[in-house]
Amino acid sequence: MFLTIINIVFPVFLIIAAGAGYARYFKPDLGWINRINMDVFIPALIFSVLSDSDFDLAVYWKLALAALVVSLGSGLLVWPFLRWMRVSAKTFLPPMMFNNTGNMGIPLLVLAFGEAALPAAVTLFITVNLLHFTLGIYILDHSAGFSSLLRNPIILATFAGLVFSHFDWTLVAALALPIEMLGQISIPLMLFALGVRFLDVDLKDLRLGILGALICPLSGLVMAYLIAPLLDLPAEQWGMVLVFSALPPAVLNFMLAEKYHQEPQKVASIVLAGNFASLGFVPAALWLALN
């Protein structure tokens, strides 16, 4: 199991290291690239995954509810301590609430529970992303009205993917293939950009990152155990919730912090430290889930 986790996590850090190495010598400005990623590549990834997946959200409503409560509850647990920590809620809360259900969560759940777990993993992914690009954006920018959220390419891609999946529609290969190829750009580009930002992290930010790396999985696991008696999930779904709860902050937290100019260097340190800490927390959660 440890080698399986290493095989998933190590490539993530290798791409981050490539971004940091490139930035050290060339000092790139990734602002416009990040905007393209948010507006084109990530929506393409979401639509491709949802429209191509055979799953029924109604079967997994308890799992979706668990993800919703764990995400919201983690933020509520941390909120009272923000003043003591001397950190802005806009900077610290999103990484604590929205974890890495995409490029780490889905592979982990499938490897741990088999291919049959893919619909459940996609359900967790959908739930967190919808919350992230509604409440998460509102946390970063209170002026972001509901109408502007509906114009968000990622929200539109999510709903379009759900519609295609529900009605079992398929795109012709001439359209589906380029959309899938565009989507495949998004995850490595996010990680590369995170590596570029890593050079801006100073020692003070790193201390905050380590604190966030500990709080994120611990608050998630606390919420998971609090809601377990109320939801009465099947054993396998409960195991998935445990793994989900211990996942590190999503790289998308950094992308959105960059877009909304909300201390991206601090968010980058939280995301980086959280993903390093996942080498300890995720195996522990998998052990709990599989036992």
Question: Could you read off the pLDDT of 13-54 as tens digits, one per residue?
Answer: 788 889 889 998 888 877 788 889 889 998 998 898 888 766
- Residues 83-91, mean pLDDT to the nearest whole number: 90
Q: Which of 36, 48, 51 is nearest to 178 (CA)?
A: 48
pLDDT at 143: 75
pLDDT of residue 170: 87
Report the CATH number at residue 118.
Answer: 1.20.1530.20
pLDDT at 77: 95
- Structure confidence at residue 4 (pLDDT): 67
Question: pTM for this one?
Answer: 0.80
| Selection from 42, 55, 61, 63 nearest residue 164 by Cα | 55
Alpha helices, DSSP H, located in 27-117: 31-36, 42-51, 61-78, 82-85, 89-97, 106-113
pLDDT higher for 77 or 33?
A: 77
Q: Look at residue 107 and tell me whether its pLDDT is greater than 60.
A: yes
Q: What is the mean pLDDT of residues 72-99?
A: 93
**CA dist., res. 120 & res. 81, Å (int):** 33
Task: Give the domain range for residue 131.
Answer: 2-25+32-290
User: How many domains does the chain fold into?
Assistant: 1
